Amino acid sequence: MIEVLSAGNSAREMRQKYQIYEESSVREYWIVNPENESILPYVLENKSFVGKAPMIKGDKVSPHIFPKLVIDLDYIFESEKL
């Protein structure tokens, strides 16, 4: 699950979605913040989300569930501004 934040996202809404995705056993959840060009990844381990290291523009990253897929965050965040 990938969620891209916008100005309309509230902290309360983010917490509710986090809980819903965790209870639904979503295996991986990324919160993308285009404003500061970062991603907060969470991976489901033993029925609970575990936060992983933040990912930022300049990184090349792989989703936990698709380790062979490599995503260049420079491309993602530059595309956002087009």
Total domains present in the chain = 1
- DSSP for 28-82 reads EEEEEETTTTEEEEEEEETTEEEE---EETT-EE--TT-TT--EEHHHHHHHHT-
Residue 26: domain span: 2-80
Taking the model in full, what pTM does it have?
0.86
* Closest-CA residue to 72 (of 13, 82, 62): 62
CATH number of the domain bearing residue 72:
3.90.1570.10
Residues 68-81 have pLDDT tens digits of: 999 999 999 985 45
Q: Residue ranges of the chain with pLDDT lower than 50? A: 80, 82
